[in-house]
Structure 1
Amino acid sequence: MKTTNNEIKIIQILLASNDYISTYEIATLIGISRRSVREEINNVKNILKELEIHFTSKPNKGYIIDEKTPEIINKLQEIINKNENDDAYALVPNIPHDRVNYILKLLAQSDKYIKMDDIADDLLVSRATIANDLINVKKELSRYNIHIIHKPNYGIKLNINELERRRIIADLVFASMTQREVFYDFLDTYLDTSDREIIEIIKNNNLYISDLSLADILINYSISIARNMAGHPLDTVFEDFEIFKNTKEYHTVLDLSRVAKEHFDVDFNDSEKSFLTLMLICKGSTHDKIYQEDQITSKLTHTILDDIYSSTLIYIDNRYYDRLSLYIQTALLRQKYQEKIRNPLYDQIQDDMPFAYYLTKIVNKRIKEYTDTPLSRSEITSFTIFFNNIITDHTDHRKKVLLINCMGNFASNYNTNMLEKDLSNDLIIQKCISYPELLKEDLSNYDLIISNAPIHKNYDIPVINTNYIITMDDIIFIKSKLTYYFNEENLVYYFHPELFEHSVSAKTKKGISTVLYQTLCKIYPLMKSSVKANFTNKNKYSLHSFNNSIGLLKLNTPINSNTNNIILTFKEPVNYDDQEFQVLIVFSSYDQNNIMYDTLYNTLKKISEDNTLIESLIKCESYTEFLSILINNK
């Protein structure tokens, strides 16, 4: 029974999995497309059927081998072992994806013409098959702005320089290691052999590099050595390189050059050293770097921050300015020298971090205007994660607390320790007093009171009551109350600019649900239409109308893990479940203790008491105009 490498890999994955495994997971592990997985799965199914092994596939769940008895495991292991022993067959790429990569690597490594018939003979396929594969090869090369040269009776080749060849080869090698085990096997070959010296050099020069970037650097270093040994040194001149000769990355490369000479008898020329230095700088972490201000980056950063504020009302303060500037500066450097970082999370960020992704699109637009080059997918991913950290970590400065204790010194010390241990980033305890002393205290020195004695009197600052001995439930409650009382900018994170629609003409419940679904699809293009049931089935939501003008529809179960609060304003008042309104906000968020919902509810209630504000809200044509009214009446 003949099997392909990918079929064997799928069988290994199914054998190792105790639960359903999806097409996406298999594709990620093997490093092929999901369509290729579906093609291979059909073959695997037939293989298992011949062996009388029951195989189940379920939509939205994936695939599983139902029963893994010792007999079944032995049968499958025999196939795996046989495949591993059949090296000659295993080395021949036999699916389109693998053949395309094989041809790409062949063209990148050779500066001579290659006949299509020779490629067909090597791959054991017809010339027509290779002609079809070349269509996809050309698509891949278009990412590098490279074209294939055809010469009758000679064949095909790439008219590119040595640096371009290496970039293609490095991308192909890295892509082949997307399977996690293979990726770390590659690192292990350096960690477990004399080549560990290379990693030690990087470490000893205090370079902060992620595992992904380290693998990328080692691949490029290996390619540099191999190409030099084959007589293909770099001859590229890198503009303005002199400014990098005092960096620790350059000194690291001098050490790596010594290793190349000692181990492989390869002398790196100045071009090689420049290339490796720039690679270390561009692929290294920004964790230990300090932003060195320059006019271009500074101007670009200010423009981007202005754009973010004008489109979202989010003010990114000085705590994040230098870090954002450093990200922009490094992105510009990578574009200048055509270096790249590799981040595999791009396909996830759009769904998992939609608001941060929206902010990144603003960055991408401005950088593209300046350089004529958009950010790469990996660069977009890094910026999105950066903005997402700002969104999730956004807090005000620590609040000054007056702690009221009615239980003696033990309780006072215990409660103080609990608060300082679990809420050190949120508050600082200025003073601890007993309840009778509260009357004499100047409360202008504090932001809030936390008390284990019941306080029902109204004061000019918020009061948070706790148990006599503070528990984790109290900590969670205090934290949510801090958000409610003090994070005045919070409303800007409640909504998404693309989830705002004004002057909607829909009038019926069905029509409105369709508009809501279409609005969500602007962020989630693959969202299923079944989500509309969340807006039409009364068991799935609660609806409140304020003064027959503003509707607040709260979903019992959020659409997904993100905050997806939708704003619609209508041309005319609409009737929804016998309630009337001309503005609708759909609340879809995991909202612990209802802090976000209560804030929004009270804000809308306040606005609904003023007909002028209602009219202004209805007439809003822009997201920021609408949001400003909410913020001003929070």
Structure 2
Amino acid sequence: MEGLLNDRCILIMKSLITKGVLTLKELKHICNVSERTISKDLDIIEGLVKEHKLLLYRKPKLGIWIEGSEKDKERLYVSISVNNPKIPNSPKERQEYILLKLIQALGYITMQELCDEIYISRGTLENDLNYVENIIVKNGLKLKRTTNRGIKIIGDEKKLRTLIAGLFSRLSYVMPVKELVTYIGSTRIDTGEYSFEKDLFNLFSDLNLGEIEKIICEAADKFQWNFTDNAFASLLIHIAVAIKRIKSNSQVNFTENILSSLEITREYKIAEFIAKNIEKAFLINVSKTECAYISIHILGSKVQFNIINDEGKVLNRADVSDSVEELCKEMVAKAAEALDMDLINDKILLKGLSMHIRAALNRLVHDMPVKNPLLDSIKNSYVASFEAAVSASTIIKERYKLAIDENEIAYIALHIEAAIERMKNNLVDKKRIIFVCSTGIGTSQLVSSKLRRVFNNIEIVDILSSMDLKNKKLDNIDFIITTIPLVIDSVPVIRVNPLLLQEDLDNIEKFMSRSTSPEIAKKNNLKNVLQLIDRDLLFINKNFSTREEAVYEISKLMYQKGYVAEDYYDSIISREKIASTASGRVALPHGDMNKVYKSVVSICALSNKLNWDENNKIDIIIMMSIRKKDLNKIQAIFECIYDIMSDNRLINKILNCKHKEEVLEFILE
């Protein structure tokens, strides 16, 4: 009985044992819940108290207390303190618990079963299920509810596997492959308290993940296929999910046309090798369709390449087709137009983007959504590059009729930002370093280009994954810069954020005892923005019911003042459908620059938070309408606006302004 108690029941019993008689009102304040909830908990406690030869008394005018010998009370206290594996209590914990329960279930689960397991009412469960169902539906699945049988997830097997594997995505990003395999593959993890990660890891506690890792490594060596750390971890998890599902007699299905098209690829040969070894290691039958499933994940994986030379000596890939390269040339041209920069002759950008887009197209065609762990940081830190990537991504939609989401767009933005960094680059004498990165070409090129620009004495000898580093000789290497935890005795190691933030640059500067190059003066950026703000388009304490209403009202005023075309509103809404412009507390809506006659910026401080999209409630709208002739200012404008977006104190000051002049004064400060 003790093992099923929630934290609140334990707190009530401990309070009654240590404090004696307490009223319902006092217990309500101790636990910070309603008296009704306390009464329900007391019903649960009463049975346990009896098991320990004690009695629970509840007298309306006297209070509540536990009656019995001090020795029995002491035994109860020790029992509830020691033997209490926690159950989920918060709404978030409960929702994660329910989702995992449904994923693991082979059939229906009754509502009463869930209520009994986590000690919640039917009403609370219904609320939690609404959240869980939203996640399930977003993944292309359904939650089936049957009156007499219960609930279960139904839908395409591939999408269910994607949902399961997706739960691990954030872990495979923050944790190196070796550590992930060791941690997940250890004997059942028990931290003594409820943890979503613990339950997630325990899904695979009966599988030898080290064996799967070994098989993938053998395949990579045999076929000379160098996965990034993240791609390696993702493939490992997808294969582990596949093994679990095969063991429960759940198989994926493909049409004959898809099977035929996959069987002729190099990736299918790699998948066949992996499948045969999995059959031997796990004593299961891996069908043709399951082999195809593995090949799709190899097709959609990122591959590690050492594109490091800024003089155009770029690694060529035979399996990047001419059609993909032509597509990427159009994308680069579109991005260059959006930024008003000469990116066309950047061979590194073209080759790096081509290799990325090849994998991305396979993910899109086979409906394999990818989670970009850097999405919010990219949207905030590299606003101009993200917008250029949005523009470039329309080429994919137009040519292939494929919807590309903001996670994929953010990866494209990294390649563009790396190209911008290369344009700013001015190399001099360099120290010899190795850069270790887990996320792929885009991130590695962005960081390496930024390092070369900021520091005047760095030579990046190689860009490696942690898997490849162990085979690399470190003679004549001055130090290693890494985005993941590393322990190297022979060479100094500096760990940085994958986006190379200012604090990382400061740490490298201290290590090298050299100065960083000066940044673009913020005051100049600020002047550019202030010159574009129209006082008639500066609002305080505005209230809107919907995003569409807000965009319509502001864009309508812009049209009436001659800044934009009448249909500018439509282009803003179309842009929002590709990827939300909201980040944190601020939204940056903008439309087609071809519909802008004169550049202008509008700032709107809201009286109440506005639901901009399903993930963001905002306080401020900054609508930027920039015409093509002013594209040379766009980078500076975005940098300045990012400073506003990331400054919570400034946002709060703007929201408290009573006059328009105050808003401008605070921005100037």
Per the normalisation by structure 1, the TM-score is: 0.49
| Bigger CA radius of gyration | 1
